Amino acid sequence: MILRRLQYELAARAVGPFLTALDDWQRRAKGTKARTGPFSPPLESLRKLKDMMTVHYLSGRYADGAVPVAWVTSGFPVELLRPLGFHTVYPENHAAMCGVQRIVPELSDAVEAEGYSRDLCSYVRSDLGSLDTGRSPAGRLPRPDLLACCTNICQTVLYWYRDLARRFQVPLLLVDTPFVYGEPTDHQIRYVADQLEEGIEMAEKVAGRKLDRAALSEAARLGRDGSQLWGECLETARNRPAPWTGVDGFFHLGPIVAMRGTEECNAYYRMLKDELQDRVKRGIGGLRGEEKHRLLWDNLPVWYATREITTLLGNGGFNFVCTTYTNAWAEASSLIDPADPIVSAARTYSMVMLNRDLPNKLRLLSRMTGEFGADGAVLHSDRSCKPYSIGQVDLKDRLASEYGVKTLLLEADHNDPRAWASELSSNRLTAFMESFG
């Protein structure tokens, strides 16, 4: 146990930082290659981001046996677990890494052979396939002691985490968030808050220590500040030209998803914000050429084809300046109250976009297109994410007819390239660009 802890701390504090520093040094020695295509040179912060994520996953390899490990859904109130010293792993984030590296078909084949349906979310298939085959872009994920699942993003996570609980024979901390029509009722908030209190008891048992309430308030404050900082980074794209592309935002999401509630996460976004604001001051845009049209992206990214899509659009002077997906981690931060971390978490995490009705989504889309000055929107109809994709046909019609926003529905899957038709998709995107005249 002590040896294991030593390994973990060494990986996190010495070996990881050393390796990333070595890598940085080698890259600098070689000279940075200019990014090809229509984009401006990458942000300086990107290097820091890569380093942080590398250290996070590297130390994770030694986390089991050293510290309590929790596998967590992206919408879970992770602030509760921070003061208990959990190393958190985000299977969704890990699955996205598999998507970017295009190893999903192979991972999916492995679970499909066991009888899992291809209609299941491709994140689930990626992660279960990674467990089955041992293939992982992170090398290895630490074995969980606790599974923490919140149904505010979809119902699939419930079945996914039950499956994980059976595989690992560890407790499942489930937070059920009833779907919110209009505004949440007091009863709904109470119901979720009660589950969080019960969940703390379970997490305490797994961690083998009592939750320090003052430390919980501090984690909640850090979580709130982190979300606000992330929101401020996104807001820099309201400027013309936007200092980055919304797709850059997909990659810079890592810390707010996987390290929310830590000072390290917040320090990163302060640095990123400074760099983006500096770009705005100097008039540097995410595109090298003129930013002729500004677009909103809805839904998860198409991880394996983001570059293909943005390059095609970028060459035509189209830039994604905002996405509902990256916005989701910025939106509800103002609701977190460090003085009342449980009830405010119940409210915040019940009111995430995917747990709210369609009129709310339409208001969000119209507000964002207005604030960011977007004249078009691409709605990714994601075969793997039904809760996100449902209603998009109506949203498309309403956005076009009521708000004058040209809108394209693009069919794909966030992680499985077998659902991607490159030629058909680029034809649609090209026709969409031509329609701007």
Which positions touch other proteins (CB under 8 A)? 393, 396-397, 400, 406-407, 409, 411, 421, 423-424, 427-428, 430-431, 434-435, 437
Task: Judge residue 384's burial from the number of C-beta atoms within 10 Å of its C-beta, 0-12 exposed, 13-18 middle, 19 or more buried.
Answer: buried
**C-alpha closest to that of 49 among 269, 322, 327:** 269
> CB of 422: closest distance to other proteins in angstroms?
11
Measured between alpha carbons, how far is 319 from 286 in angstroms, rounded to an integer?
Answer: 8
Q: Judged by CB, which is closer to other proteins: 59, or 299?
A: 299
Question: What are φ and ψ of residue 354, in 5° steps?
Answer: -70, -15
Structure tokens at 432: 């969409």
Q: Judged by CB, which is closer to other proteins: 335, or 408?
A: 408
> CB of 380: closest distance to other proteins in angstroms?
14
Q: Judged by CB, which is closer to other proteins: 183, or 423?
A: 423
Using CA atoms, how far residue 63 sits from 211, 259, 261, in Å, is: 20, 15, 19
> CB of 120: closest distance to other proteins in angstroms?
19
Q: Judged by CB, which is closer to other proteins: 186, or 423?
A: 423
Measured between alpha carbons, how far is 107 from 111 in angstroms, rounded to an integer?
Answer: 7
> CB of 316: closest distance to other proteins in angstroms?
12
Q: Judged by CB, which is closer to other proteins: 31, or 404?
A: 404
Q: What is the 3-state secondary structure (H, E, C) of 265-323?
A: HHHHHHHHHHHHHHHHHHCCCCECCCCCEEEEEECCCCCCCHHHHHHHHHHCCEEEEEE
Structure tokens at 125: 């298939």
Q: Judged by CB, which is closer to other proteins: 343, or 409?
A: 409
Do 81 and 72 contact (CB within 8 A), yes or no?
yes
Residue 70 host element (H or E)? strand 69-72
Q: Judged by CB, which is closer to other proteins: 139, or 437?
A: 437
> CB of 312: closest distance to other proteins in angstroms?
12
> CB of 397: closest distance to other proteins in angstroms?
4
> CB of 423: closest distance to other proteins in angstroms?
7
Measured between alpha carbons, how far is 129 from 222 in angstroms, rounded to an integer?
Answer: 34
**C-alpha closest to that of 231 among 133, 334, 138, 101:** 334
> CB of 309: closest distance to other proteins in angstroms?
16
Q: Judged by CB, which is closer to other proteins: 21, or 431?
A: 431
Q: Judged by CB, which is closer to other proteins: 155, or 430?
A: 430
> CB of 291: closest distance to other proteins in angstroms?
22
DSSP string, 198-232: HHHHHHHHHHTS---HHHHHHHHHHHHHHHHHHHH
Structure tokens at 14: 């010495």
